[in-house]
Amino acid sequence: MLVALVIRLVLALVAVGGAQPVLGCDLCAIYSAQEAQGNGKGFFAGVAEQFTDFNTFMSDGHSAPNPDSEYIYSLSSQLFAGYNFNKRFGVQFNLPLIWREYGQVAAHGSEFGPGDASLTGNVQLYQKSLDEFNFTWTALGGIKFPTGDSSWLGKPDFAVGIGGHDLALGSGSFDGLLGTGFSTRWKKLFFNGQMQYAIRTEGDFQHQYANDWTWTGGPGVYLALQDDYTIALQGTVSGESKGKDTYGGVPDNDSAETIVYVGPEISFTWSENFSAHIGADLPVSYDNSGEQIMPTYRIHAAVT
């Protein structure tokens, strides 16, 4: 089953081959189709994919043996649709579909279902456009709804490095989302970045995910910059950071983490109606509390 899903993902990546990356973890970050703004009034829609291989065992920020061969394979598909009221204001709805396979030497399992949906508003705060230079600054705010299955939060941990908070598809909580992003271009060189901050509340089983900060950005170059299409190559630095979750107000010592990734990304736009991207991330810095299975790599792609 895993091989078939990975093959399907790779084929999807080759097919889509957007201008904005997929952010962070399955539960907290949302894909924001900011490249859909600025094109005037109208509807937009798309899908964003992220596959993450959790296969690195960490203990208090240090690599450690993984004697039970614990692992998680996570594929998150975010379906999104929105409407731009004009070139400055828009709304977007996201519904993630999450598949996870997990296991260790003695047991294996899988989960599939919808994650926590979100509704956000997007605003273009500032834009400056010249022939060889432009700059855009955007912001978003919204709410995440408890639509995903949170039953794993009420079960015992699956393994030493795999807890219920790692396998739950939802949080059982209403959470706030804030974010901002920018992009600037001079001739064929560009630099963009964005960040999101999730404000978490207590959910099911008295579990509360810690507030989560995700970010991404980096420099790039347009390999082609034509009136009707663009092709760009970018080097990105991305990451996420969160503190310890709590159960009934008691900290979970196996839940805090900070991860920094680097990797390449290729993006493509055609006219004002289509954009796509494909990228890969490798972690270059880990910091975590307790014992956790951490990402070994991730692949992401999107089409709008």
pTM beyond 0.75: the answer is: yes
Q: Give the whole-angstrom CA distance, residue 118 versus residue 31.
A: 10
Q: Give the whole-angstrom CA distance, residue 96 versus residue 149.
A: 12
pLDDT digits (tens, 9 = 90+) for 220-238: 999 998 989 999 999 999 9
Q: Give the whole-angstrom CA distance, residue 123 versus residue 78.
A: 21
State the 10-residue block means of pLDDT for the chain, 304 residues long: 41 37 64 68 92 95 93 95 93 96 96 96 93 93 96 96 95 95 95 95 97 95 92 96 96 96 95 90 96 95 92
Tell me, what's the pLDDT at 91? 95
| All domains of the chain in start order, with CATH | 2-303 (2.40.128)
Candidates 190, 198, 230; CA nearest to 214 is 198
pLDDT digits (tens, 9 = 90+) for 286-300: 999 999 999 999 999
